[in-house]
Amino acid sequence: MSGNLIVHRVFLNYHKHSANTLFIDIYKAFRNGSDEYRMASFSDEHMERLFEKFILEYYKEHHSYLNEIKAGQIKWNLEGDNEETMIKFLPVMQSDVMLRMGDRVLIIDAKYYEKSLRKYYDKHSLHSANLYQIFSYVKNHDRDNSGQVSGLLLYAKTSEDIAPDASFNMGGNIIGARTLDLNVDFSQISSQLDNIIKEFLINPIKERA
């Protein structure tokens, strides 16, 4: 990934004991003498893991009142008799962040890409694989078709002019796509993450007048 995506020093210095080593490593690798840190030697995969970890640890630290805050596997919603020898061939569904407040659940899939949208001719669209993945997570987790499970694709904001900011009701479940701007003061990063809780758990989109 190029230097298009800039990570703010506040993000890189947000120390939580379980993620402390990662943040120190990033701090050392990305320091360039200014108030900003740009992509350097770390791989996209490493940065994506850090991004995922940051989101999870933020919610553990600042929204501990939630009934559940974790990264965990989602079971396939299988019906009937299924042979164990065949089930093992199903891919593992691993959520980055899963939040629960009462009966409401939000599954977050964190993405750290150079481009949060794909472009085909003049049309911008979400990465289809990302959308299919979060849809599958939500539908399999919502075993009773209650509509209480929502999903969110959360991208690290890049320098692109167009950024995803939308929510859709897909078969009774809300699936959203947002960007998290890391190149701002930590108070603003915090506000963005707090608003996600409000929009999907406290005041769900589909329940608004």
**pLDDT interval class at 74 (50, 70, 90):** very high
**pLDDT interval class at 2 (50, 70, 90):** very low
The answer to whether 5 and 39 have CB atoms below 8 angstroms apart is: yes
Rounded to whole angstroms, how far apart are CA atoms 175 and 184? 26
Within a domain: 31: no
pLDDT at 151: 97
Amino acid identity at 30: F
Instruction: Tell me the residue length of the chain.
Output: 209
Domain count, the chain: 1
pLDDT of 35 higher than 90: no
DSSP string covering 70-87? E--EE-----S---HHHH
Rounded to whole angstroms, how far apart are CA atoms 107 and 176? 10
Within a domain: 4: no
List the one residue out of 128, 126, 90, 96 whose CA is nearest residue 110. 96
pLDDT at 17: 43
Question: How much of the chain, in percent, has pLDDT values that exceed 90?
Answer: 37
pLDDT at 52: 87
Give residue-wise pLDDT tens across range 159-168.
766 667 889 9
Within a domain: 63: yes
Tokens of 141: 């987790």
Give residue-wise pLDDT tens across range 82-126.
767 678 888 899 999 999 999 999 999 998 876 666 666 777 667
Greater confidence (145 vs 53) lies with 145
pLDDT at 113: 75
The CATH number of the domain holding residue 161 is 3.40.1350.10
Mean pLDDT of the chain: 77
Greater confidence (35 vs 176) lies with 176
Rounded to whole angstroms, how far apart are CA atoms 87 and 76? 9
Within a domain: 167: yes
Q: Which residues on adjacent β-strands are paired with residue 170?
A: 173
Tokens of 102: 């009462």
Q: How many other CB atoms are there within 10 angstroms of residue 134's CB atom?
A: 26
Within a domain: 156: yes
Greater confidence (115 vs 60) lies with 60
- Domain around 181: 45-207
Within a domain: 35: no
DSSP string covering 180-208? E--SS-HHHHHHHHHHHHIIIIIS-GGG-
Within a domain: 179: yes
User: What average pLDDT does the segment 55-79 reach?
Assistant: 91
pLDDT at 114: 67
Within a domain: 101: yes
Residue 112's contacts (CB-CB under 8 Å, 6 or more residues apart) are 5, 44, 47, 48, 51, 155, 156
